[in-house]
Amino acid sequence: MSLSPVQFIAVPLFAAFLIPLIGKASKETVKLVPGIVLLYLSYVALNLFPRGLERPIVEHIAGFNPPFGITLYYGPLAAFLTTLVTLIGFVIWLYSYKFIIREPFEKYYMLFMLLITGSTGIILTGDIFNMFVFLEITAIAAYSLTAFLRDKDGAEAAFKYLLIGSFSSTFVLLAILLIYMQTGTLNLADIALKMADVPITMKIFILILFITGLGIEAEIFPLNGWAPDAYSQAPSPVGAVFGGIVVKATIYALMRIVYLMFNFHSVLHFFVIMGVITMLIAEMSAMRQHQIKRMLAFSSIGQMGLVIIAFGLGTEPGVRAALFQMFNHALIKTLLFFSAGYLVFHSGSKHISALDGLGRDKPLTSFFFAFGALAIIGLPPFAGFWSKLYILLSVADAHLVTVVVLILISAVIEIVYYLRVVSRLYFKRETATDVRRTPLSGLAAMGILAVVILFVGLYPNTILDWLTPAARELMNTSEYIRTGLHLNSGLLSINF
């Protein structure tokens, strides 16, 4: 079987439906399936990566040529993001292996596989309606996962998520509808080509619908009311999935659409402003949280604000920095959610005040949390340092010194609330010790992440070398259109 980007979508989807079946036979085998799938996908990702960097791979589903059939576009950007998703997915599986032991865990894995399917789908697809479908797959899986623990708060969080998520899908669907109405096509490249003829009024209207719709999932303020609840009430690995995979895919979708269809600067500056507001409010709220996972959720929102700022600059260094930050944030926030998961598990409470002295009792878990905290604050030699630095530099290149200052202020706030937790972990005497041990799979997952974070921090070149073509791809719309539509084969001459 030759390797193809289709497998990123097909394999996990297939696995998702296979899992309940296998579950009938053997519960234990079910746990292994996602691991195998994701390992395989990582293998695919690493193999396809060089090819994607060299020349974008454009796959046509069902044999239609673009712009008719559904296409998959596997360029450097998609290559980068799918690799990220599969890797993070694998680590999350590893962590879940011993963390999600409550029945019905086969459903958990099924939904998890659906989430992976949805995310890779969003990233890979070259068709806007297809993107909507994948968004919905992701969303439905996410609603269910939020309520996975079947407790009071989980249901509440999931319902809020669903309520707002439905708005999101409505708006996105409306936008797609308008696009179809105006251009008569659903292929992204084709839309981009024809968008030029669309009247500006319509364009703006579509854009607003997209921003609102996708902004909900991308956690732009004030559309992010669902996020803290969902992150904090879902099981910890799910929080990591949200922060590490789902949001990243959505931001990708938003940015792809904006760059492809509405590439003008006033819009981009709007993103800078929204990013700054999102970041500041999220960080300020995070500072006053009493629950660790809720704090992490707000911190995630803040980081997304940062990413949005960088995307909004509309320069190649800016986009690259944003991608870098996405990468780092995926790793680091996953690590934080993992360790927070076990900290909550051991302390038996979600409250930060219950964490006193856990550092002595559970040194490794706490160490990973401290590690993640230092990394996300952006201290060297961890990965977070470089991406923050790049973002700042690109912001300054755009002569937005105020934004630089605001980012740094939010970083100071970040320091305060993260280090408060870290110092509690290590330096307060605990009252009781928990005899349960942190399982090896969880520690291994955190260990992998920590090593990668440190490695990237020490050798940022490894990631940056990939990011440059990825950023260029996002910026270079005409190239996307050309390869996406096989223009050299002259198909564009067909007028719709």
Partner 1 sequence: MVSLTTLYEITFGGAILAFIAQHTIKQLRTFIVIVTSALGVYIVWRLPSQATDISFRLGDFQILWGVNEYSQLFALLIAVLGFFTLIYSIDFMKERERLGYFYMNFLIVIGGMYGIVYSQDLISLFFFWEIMTWSSFMLVIYCCDDAQSIGLKYFVFSAIGAYAMLTAIVLIWANLETTSLSVLFENFTNLSSGLQITVIVLFIVGFGVKSAMMPFHVWAPDAYAISPTPFTALFSGALSKMGIWGLGIVLLKLAAQSGFYVWVQDIVAWIGAITALLATFYAIVQTDAKKLLAYSSIGQLGYIIVGLAIGTPLSIMSALFLAMLHGIFKAMLFMSAGAVFYRTGSTDMNEVTGLIRKMPWTFLTALFGIITVAGVPPLGGFAAKWMLYEATIQSGHYFLVIVLFAASTAAFLYLYRFIFSLFLGQEEKEYADIKEAPLTMTVPMVIMALFTLVVGVFPGIFINPIGNAMGYFGNYTFNWDVSSLLNEWGNHVDMMTVVMTIGAIFIIAAIFITIKNYRTTRYVTTKDIHTSGEIPTENENLTYAVDFYKPFERAIAPVLKRSIDKTYNLIAENLESAFDFLRYVYTGNGQTYALYVVLFLAVLMVFAELIFGIQL
Partner 2 sequence: MIYYAASILLILIGMYAVLVKKNIIKIVIGLSIIDSGVHLLFIAIGYVKDATAPIYSRPGLEAGQMVDPVPQALVLTAIVIGLAVTAVALSLVIRLYDHHKTLNINRIRKLKW
Q: Is 200 in the site for partner 1 (CB under 8 A)?
A: yes
Specify the length of the chain in residues.
496
Q: Is 155 in the site for partner 1 (CB under 8 A)?
A: no
Nearest to 94 by CA among 82, 109, 79, 81: 109
Tally of CB atoms within 10 A around 174: 16
| Cα–Cα distance measured from residue 278 to residue 280, given in angstroms and rounded to the nearest whole number | 6
Q: Is 284 in the site for partner 1 (CB under 8 A)?
A: yes
Number of residues that bind partner 2 (CB under 8 A): 39
Q: How far is the CB of 234 from partner 2 (least distance, A)?
A: 12
173 binds, options partner 1, partner 2, none, Cβ within 5 to 8 A by partner type: partner 2
The identity of residue 218, as a single letter, is: A
Q: Token pair for residue 200?
A: 């500006």
Q: Is 321 in the site for partner 2 (CB under 8 A)?
A: no
Binder among 14, 40, 159, 345 for partner 2 (CB under 8 A): 159
The three-class DSSP label of residue 187 is: strand
Map the footprint of partner 1 across residues 378-397, applying CB under 8 A.
379-381, 385-386, 389-390, 392-393, 395-397
CB 334 within 8 A of CB 244: yes
Q: Provide the H-helix boundaries in 184-264.
A: 188-194, 200-217, 226-233, 236-241, 247-261
Number of residues that bind partner 1 (CB under 8 A): 64
Burial of 451: CB neighbours in 10 Å, binned 0-12, 13-18, 19+: exposed
What residues pair up with 291 in beta bridges, in sequence order?
A: 351
101 binds, options partner 2, partner 1, none, Cβ within 5 to 8 A by partner type: none
**CA distances to 55, 78, 97, 127, 144 from 66, in Å:** 18, 19, 41, 10, 35
**CA distances to 13, 117, 217, 262, 427 from 171, in Å:** 26, 22, 12, 17, 49
Binder among 21, 46, 101, 177 for partner 2 (CB under 8 A): 177
| Cα–Cα distance measured from residue 227 to residue 146, given in angstroms and rounded to the nearest whole number | 11
Q: Which residue, 285 or 334, has its beta carbon nearer to partner 2?
A: 285
* Binding mask of the shown chain, residues 449 to 478, with x at each position contacting partner 1 by CB under 8 A: -----------xx--x--------------
Q: Is 411 in the site for partner 1 (CB under 8 A)?
A: yes
Binder among 14, 18, 107, 156 for partner 2 (CB under 8 A): 156
Stretch that binds partner 2, among 180-188, 241-249, 255-263, 339-347 (CB under 8 A): 180-188
Map the footprint of partner 2 across residues 382-421, applying CB under 8 A.
none
Q: Is 205 in the site for partner 2 (CB under 8 A)?
A: no
Binder among 216, 218, 307, 471 for partner 1 (CB under 8 A): 216
Q: Token pair for residue 429?
A: 């005497």
Q: Is 163 in the site for partner 2 (CB under 8 A)?
A: yes
| Cα–Cα distance measured from residue 310 to residue 296, given in angstroms and rounded to the nearest whole number | 21
CB 74 within 8 A of CB 52: yes
Farthest CA pair distance, the chain: 75
Q: Is 212 in the site for partner 1 (CB under 8 A)?
A: yes
Map the footprint of partner 2 across residues 230-249, applying CB under 8 A.
232-233
Strands 71-74 and 57-60: antiparallel
Q: Is 264 in the site for partner 1 (CB under 8 A)?
A: no
Binder among 285, 300, 328, 334 for partner 1 (CB under 8 A): 285
153 binds, options partner 1, partner 2, none, Cβ within 5 to 8 A by partner type: partner 2
What residues pair up with 72 in beta bridges, in sequence order?
A: 59, 125
Stretch that binds partner 2, among 138-146, 194-202, 393-401, 417-425 (CB under 8 A): 138-146
Q: Is 166 in the site for partner 2 (CB under 8 A)?
A: yes
Interface residues with partner 2 (CB under 8 A) are 129, 133, 136, 139-140, 143-144, 147, 150-153, 155-160, 162-163, 165-167, 169-170, 173-174, 176-177, 180-181, 186, 228-229, 232-233, 285, 288, 294
